[in-house]
Chain A
Amino acid sequence: MALTLAPGIMASTFAQLRSCGQGRDECVVYWTGPRKAPGAVDSVIKPEHQAGPDWYEIEPAWMTSFFLELRRTGRTARAQVHSHPTSARHSCTDDRYPLAPSPGFYSLVLPSFADGPIGLDDAYLAEVGADGTWLERNPDTEIREAR
């Protein structure tokens, strides 16, 4: 299921990753949307987390409260988006510790602390497959921006 981003989602994602990371630390946000609208993304959520130049970790209590909030509001997280200091790829840590390791969940990695042009140039996208393994996807075909 491809993702359809509401207007402003991509710009907001870059703005939050840049503001938080300050060009020196990684950062992560989650793309969420209504559960009943498959593939729709209309919100960018920045979690409580700690980070350094090549890592991030989510505050455990925040994860519990986030899942409870998604339940309460009828929403779901469809992708995690995080920055890398240099090139974009999926590290072993990215593979093992995603927010939602179930089929259809996406992970988008943006290079250079997201300081490049707003868009998907040089981005890396993966999706959890039916057997639980990560499958590389083409970001240009899997992520669409609504006009």
Chain B
Amino acid sequence: MDTAVTRDTVTITYNGNDQVIDYKPDEKVRAVLDRALAEFHVSSNPHLMGLFTEGNVELSDDSTMSSAGVKPGELLVLRQSAVRGGKG
């Protein structure tokens, strides 16, 4: 008898590019964020990056994907928590 294995996925977009990432509902957001950073080859200052909903709500790293309200198939945005610069 075959056992159907279902995997939840989210699409994560970063600077115009997409990656589809598997996740488990009880998995911490930080783990999914780490996989996204690896897929997009972001290796510097990873603690400055976050996952955001299309409505610009940041997902707490310590939440689980389900408690953060993430639904399978949802689109998330990977970006710096802050973008700034200057001589100072």
Contact = CB atoms under 8 A, between A and B. Distances in A.
Interface of A: 26, 28, 35, 51-52, 54-58, 60-61, 63-65, 67-68, 70-71, 73-77, 80, 82, 84-86, 89, 91, 93-94, 96-103, 105, 128, 130-133
A97 B80 contact: yes
B42 interface: yes
Interface of B: 13-18, 40-45, 48-49, 52, 54, 56, 77-88
Contacts of A35: 16-17
Given A58-B83, A67-B13, A97-B48, A91 B77 contact: no
Contacts of B15: 67, 70, 76-77, 99-100, 102, 105
Q: Helix, strand, loop or mixed for chain A's interface?
A: mixed
Contact of A132 (B42, B56, B77): B42
Q: Helix, strand, loop or mixed for chain B's interface?
A: loop
Contact of B85 (A61, A94, A105): A94
A121 to B, nearest CB: 18
A91 B56 contact: no
7 contacts: A55-B88, A56-B84, A82-B86, A94-B85, A98-B80, A99-B80, A102-B14
B54 A131 contact: no
Nearest to B15: A100
A71 B41 CA distance: 18
B68 to A, nearest CB: 16
Contacts of B41: 102-103, 130
